[in-house]
Structure 1
Amino acid sequence: MLLLIFIPVLLLSFISPPQSLAQACPQGDANSDCEVDGLDYVIWLNHYNQESAYGSVEGDFSNDGKTDGLDYIVWLNNVGKSSTPIPTTPSLTPVPTAITGNIYWQGNAETGNLSQWCHAHTVTPDRIQVVTGPVKQGKYAYRFELRDGDNIFGTERVVLSQGPEPCGHPLELNGQEKYYGWSVYLPSNFPVYTSWSQVMQFKAHDTGSPPLQLALNDNQWRLTYRPTASSSNLVKWSTPAVRGRWERFVAHVKWSTDPNVGFIEFWYNGTKVVPLFKTSTIHFLNGQPVPNHVAIGHYRDAAISSNVILYHDGFTVGSTYESVAQ
C-alpha cells in the first residue's frame, strides 16, 4: 500500500511545471526582470500604438488593451524602481517573448521618409530630403539644406529631432547607458565657418543646453560637453573636418546627474579618440533630472551668411559599439 501511494507522488513531482520568476514586479516592467529601465521602454516603443492582448509584456502597463501614451506615463513614473522577483508557477497560457537585440532605435532614412523622427525644424519642407546619393549605408540618406535667413527660434537651423515633446521615440534618461553612431558628409564646396555651428546634439529638455554635441567650428569637428546647464561648452576633442567623404562618429554615454557615475567615450572613423572619462551628463531643472533628446542636421549662428548642403546617414542607438559602428 505504501508503494502504491509513493509512486503517484513521484510522478506528480516529475510532471509539475518548473518555477519561473514573475509577478510582484513594479508597474512599467515589461521583461519580468523586476527592474523598470530602458529595456522596458524599448519593448513599449516596439508595440507603441498597437492593440495588445498580453498586457505588460507588450508595453500595455495599464492593461487597457492598447499600448499607448498612457503606458509611457506609467513607465516614466516608475523608471528606476526595482523589486525582488517571487518564484511562481507559470500559467499554461502561452505568452509571447519580446524580441530584443543590440539595436534599440534607428533614424537612418531607410523608411524613405522622415517618419523615424518626431519633428522636422525647417522653414520649408524641401530643406530636408531623403536622397539616394551620397549614402553611407542602405539605400537612403538625409539631405539638409540651410540658407541664409532660415531662422527658427532665433538661430538658423534645419534639424530632425526626437523631442522635446514625447512622441513614441526614445529619450535619453538618467541611469541609461547606450552607444550612438552617426555619419556626416560635407560636400567639397562646404565653406569654412568662423563662428559656432553643430551637426548633432543631445539637447536637454526645457533647459535648451546640450550636455553633448558634435560641433563644426573653424574647419574642425569638435566634441563638446556641458557638465551643467549653466556651464560653457568644453572641448574634449577636435580634428580637421574633411570634405568629400563620409565621416563616422560613435559615442558611448552613461547618462547620469552624478559626475562620478556618468561618462563619455568617443570614436572617429573606427578609432577611439576620447578614452572614457567621468562627467555628469544629465542636467537639472527645478531640482529634477532632465531627459535629453537627439537632434541631427545643421544648427548655426545666424550671423553666418552662406547657403550650404550637408548629409546625414545611419543614426543608430544600440547596446554595444559593434551594433552602431557601421
Structure 2
Amino acid sequence: MASRLARITVGGVPRVVDLLSGAPAAGPAPAPARVWHYEALAVGADPVPNPWSEFHGLRTDQREILDVSSQGLGFARALRFNVQPGDTGWGGTSGTLRSEVRASIAQSGSVTVGSEQWWAWPTFFPADFNWDENNQFLIFTQWRHGGAGSGNPNVGLWSDVNENLMLWVRGGSGGAVSGDAQYEKTYNLGPIVKGAWSRFMVHQVWSDDPATGLVEVYRNGVLLHSAADANLYTGDTIYIKQGIYSAAGTQRQHFITHGPLRWGSTRDAVENLPPFV
C-alpha cells in the first residue's frame, strides 16, 4: 500500500501531512536545540552561571528574577534588567551602560556560513519606557561576533529616541572595531509595543555574503521584516546577549524584562514552546 504521508513546505516551513485528511502527521514535536529559562530559580536569584554564562554590568541589582506566574504567559519566571546614569565602566569600557547576560559560542550554535537558526522569546517594555538620548541606541537583544575586537554587533534589535523598533544587520569583512563592517543596514520596524508582552521570533541564515544571508523578524506571529543581508563577519561566528546595552547620555533609569529564550533549526521547533506552567 502506498504511503499516504507527504512532506510539503508551507511558508518556508517543512511539514509532514496526511494526504487524505490534510492534517499534520502524528509524530514527536520538533524540539529547540537550546532553551534558556528561569523556572527553577527563586525570585531574586542569580541567573549566572545557570542558565547564562556571564553577566555584564556593574551592580548586582541590575538583574532580577521576577514572578510572572499570575499573567497567564505559560512561564512563571522572567528576568528584568535595568540601567541608570552612571552605570559605565564595566570591563574597562566607557561611554555605554550595560546590564546584559551572554551565552557562549557553543551554546549559541557555533554557526558558520550557511547555518540556519530560528530564535524566539518574549520581551516586556513597561508602559513608561522612554529612551531619551537622541541619535543613540538602547539594544535589548544582539548577536555579536565571536572573534577578538570591539566591533559592532552582527544583528541587533534596539530602540531609537522615538521608541521605534530598530534593526541593525552587519557582515562581510571587518568586525574588529566599530564602524568597519563591509556591509551594514539599519531598518525601522515601527513602534515598540509598551505595556504588553511582545513575542519575538528571528529567523537567520548566516552568511558574510548579502546574496545568501537572511534576517527575518516576527512579532506576535506577524512578519515585520525580511531581507537578504550579510549578517556574519568573514571567518567568524556569533554568540547571543540579552538585556540592555545603551549609550550613556540618558537621564533616566530603564527597565526591560525578557522571558524564556530558545533557538532551533526550524520555525516549528521554537514558535510554540510548550508552557512551563
Residues 131 and 141 in structure 1, CA contact (< 8 A), matched pair in contact too:
yes
Selected match of 1:283 from 233, 253, 258:
233
Q: Deviations over 1:278-303 (max 9, x none)?
A: 2222103xxxx111100000010011
Selected match of 2:128 from 189, 198, 205:
189
Q: Stretches of 4+ moved more than 4 A in 1? A: none
Q: Deviations over 1:68-100 (max 9, x none)?
A: xxxxxxxxxxxxxxxxxxxxxxxxxxxxxxx99
Which amino acid in structure 2 is aligned with residue 156 of structure 1?
L
Secondary structure of the corresponding residue to residue 165 of structure 2 = strand
Superposition pairs of residues 152-163 of structure 1, within 5 angstroms: 152=90, 153-154=93-94, 155-163=96-104
Selected match of 2:111 from 140, 153, 173:
173
Residues 118 and 169 in structure 1, CA contact (< 8 A), matched pair in contact too:
no
233 and 301 in structure 1: CA distance in 2 versus 1, 3 angstrom threshold = farther
Structure 1, unaligned runs of 5 or more: 1-98
- Name the counterpart of 1:257: 208
* Aligned mates of 1:169, 1:317 — CA distance in 2: 10
Q: Deviations over 1:296-317 (max 9, x none)?
A: 0001001112112220112110
* Aligned mates of 2:107, 2:74 — CA distance in 1: 22
* Aligned mates of 1:322, 1:171 — CA distance in 2: 17
Which amino acid in structure 1 is aligned with residue 221 of structure 2?
G
Which amino acid in structure 1 is aligned with residue 127 of structure 2?
S
199 and 130 in structure 1: CA distance in 2 versus 1, 3 angstrom threshold = same
Secondary structure of the corresponding residue to residue 321 of structure 1 = coil
Residues 106 and 314 in structure 1, CA contact (< 8 A), matched pair in contact too:
yes
Structure number having the greater strand percentage? 2
Which amino acid in structure 2 is aligned with residue 122 of structure 1?
G
Which amino acid in structure 1 is aligned with residue 140 of structure 2?
V
* Aligned mates of 1:261, 1:301 — CA distance in 2: 32
Taking every aligned residue pair, what percent have the same amino acid on both sides? 20
- Name the counterpart of 1:56: none
- Name the counterpart of 1:248: 199
Residue 142 of structure 1 and its aligned partner are, at CA, apart by: 0.3
* Aligned mates of 1:150, 1:171 — CA distance in 2: 31
The reply to whether residue 266 of structure 1 matches residue 217 of structure 2 is yes
The reply to whether residue 227 of structure 1 matches residue 177 of structure 2 is no
Q: Deviations over 1:140-170 (max 9, x none)?
A: 000112121111222101000014xx5x623
Residue 172 of structure 1 and its aligned partner are, at CA, apart by: 4.1
Which amino acid in structure 1 is aligned with residue 52 of structure 2?
W
Larger RCO, structure (CA 8 Å, separation 6 or more): 2
- Name the counterpart of 1:59: none
Structure 2, unaligned runs of 5 or more: 1-27, 273-277
Selected match of 1:141 from 66, 78, 81:
78
Q: Deviations over 1:43-75 (max 9, x none)?
A: xxxxxxxxxxxxxxxxxxxxxxxxxxxxxxxxx
TM-score by length of 1: 0.62
261 and 323 in structure 1: CA distance in 2 versus 1, 3 angstrom threshold = same
Corresponding residue pairs, total:
220
Residues 224 and 237 in structure 1, CA contact (< 8 A), matched pair in contact too:
no
Residue 101 of structure 1 and its aligned partner are, at CA, apart by: 4.3
The reply to whether residue 123 of structure 1 matches residue 58 of structure 2 is yes
Structure number having the greater helix percentage? 1
233 and 199 in structure 1: CA distance in 2 versus 1, 3 angstrom threshold = farther
* Aligned mates of 1:233, 1:124 — CA distance in 2: 33
- Name the counterpart of 1:108: 37
Bigger Rg, which one: 1
Residue 192 of structure 1 and its aligned partner are, at CA, apart by: 3.2
Superposition pairs of residues 293-312 of structure 1, within 5 angstroms: 293-312=239-258
The reply to whether residue 203 of structure 1 matches residue 144 of structure 2 is yes
Residue 250 of structure 1 and its aligned partner are, at CA, apart by: 0.9
104 and 308 in structure 1: CA distance in 2 versus 1, 3 angstrom threshold = same
Which amino acid in structure 2 is aligned with residue 180 of structure 1?
W
Residue 260 of structure 1 and its aligned partner are, at CA, apart by: 2.5
- Name the counterpart of 2:25: none
Which deviates further from its counterpart, 219-228 or 151-160?
Answer: 219-228
RMSD: 2.2
Secondary structure of the corresponding residue to residue 126 of structure 1 = helix
